[in-house]
Amino acid sequence: MTEYDVLTIGNAIVDIIAQADDDFLIAQAVQKGGMTLIETARARQLYDAMGPAVETSGGSAANTVAGVVSLGGTGAYIGKVANDELGTIFTHDIRAQKVRYETTPLEGEPPTARSMILVTPDGERSMSTYLGACVELGPEDIDEALVAAAKLTYFEGYLWDPPRAKEAILKAASIAHANGREVAMSLSDAFCVHRYRKEFLDLLQSGTVDIVFANESEVLALYETDDVELAIRRIAKDARRLAAVTRGDEGCVAVSGAETVAVPAVALARLLDTTGAGDLFASGFLRGHTDGLGLEDSARLGAVAAGHIIEQIGPRPQQQLAKLPGAKEILDRIAG
């Protein structure tokens, strides 16, 4: 099999994105800035209440691999949709991005997952996610040859929500390491960290995961502290290979052993929608890392990709990221 830079595994989701004001979030009891799991009845009720929307493929790890490829890397994806119209949209979009995607779709119910994303005037996104077909992802969906062929396998912490996806991840991590490959994860969401704190810590401390991505609120949740510097020191120690922590408009910190770099956020023309910021930071970082770049260049690529995605609506890049000014210089160095 061809070698891929990055294989990502995650909940395969179509995003339904609408503008909303803070009063609407309060009236609808939507947790601002977070990802809340919802069931069928709540999904229907919230959809009926929310404003006109646009639809785009999403899913955290799927966004990340789409970004890797948009930055000139190669990628594959594993995640479960149903054989329905939203599943067709998801499948089209990721394949059209030149990401290898061959996970067998679910026949029948439940339908393809969807996340209702409300974007407030401050650009913050609040997600209410119906997992649908994602609950059927299991170890049988892990293609051993594909994992072995990927330089790095990346998964989202959100996969601890569906019942059997964690088995799929443990299988994939084991295959990756048996083939001398790396394993990375994202902590996904502070509430998700609250739900699975001990398991996530164990993934790091056991060496199941080599590289971890988190934002400030996630790393604080992981160590149950309000001291960011302390939390970063601890995650850097727990991570086998490296930890990258994003800090919103303060940029990011990446730590690997004794080496620490801090990279500022890129200046924005306009902040439209933060959906996908963390996902695309991981895209840039992994694009650099899997091509042998150091912490600083990798983090800079991450900052450029994250900065771009929040200047548009939706988490999939609408322009080729490799052509962005800040990215091009760094990528030219890889090519050169």
SS3 state of residue 91 = helix
Query: Rounded to the nearest whole angstrom, what is the least distance from the CB of residue 89 to a second copy in the complex?
Result: 6
Using CB under 8 A, pick the residue from 92, 194, 323, 333 that binds a second copy: 92
d(CA 322, CA 165): 32
H or E element at residue 167: helix 165-178
Token representation of residue 232: 């970063």
Using CB under 8 A, pick the residue from 316, 321, 322, 330 that binds a second copy: 316
Asked if 64 is part of the footprint of a second copy (rule: CB under 8 A), the reply reads no
Contact assessment for residue 8 and residue 61, using Cβ atoms and an 8 Å cutoff? yes
Asked if 55 is part of the footprint of a second copy (rule: CB under 8 A), the reply reads yes
d(CA 325, CA 335): 16
**Phi, psi of 37, rounded to the nearest 5 degrees:** -80, 140
Contact assessment for residue 46 and residue 162, using Cβ atoms and an 8 Å cutoff? no
Query: Rounded to the nearest whole angstrom, what is the least distance from the CB of residue 287 to a second copy in the complex?
Result: 18
Closest CB to a second copy among residues 260, 312: 312
Asked if 45 is part of the footprint of a second copy (rule: CB under 8 A), the reply reads no
Using CB under 8 A, pick the residue from 22, 33, 34, 89 that binds a second copy: 89
Asked if 314 is part of the footprint of a second copy (rule: CB under 8 A), the reply reads yes
Residues 187-206 that bind a second copy (CB under 8 A): none
Using CB under 8 A, pick the residue from 25, 37, 53, 334 that binds a second copy: 53
d(CA 45, CA 55): 18
Q: Which residue has the tokens 């994003």?
A: 246
Using CB under 8 A, pick the residue from 3, 39, 48, 107 that binds a second copy: 48
Using CB under 8 A, pick the residue from 9, 63, 77, 93 that binds a second copy: 93
Asked if 54 is part of the footprint of a second copy (rule: CB under 8 A), the reply reads yes
Asked if 84 is part of the footprint of a second copy (rule: CB under 8 A), the reply reads yes
d(CA 60, CA 265): 20
d(CA 276, CA 308): 10
The residues of the shown chain that bind a second copy, judged by CB under 8 A, are: 16, 18-19, 47-48, 50-57, 66, 84-86, 89, 92-94, 96-97, 111, 313-314, 316, 318-319
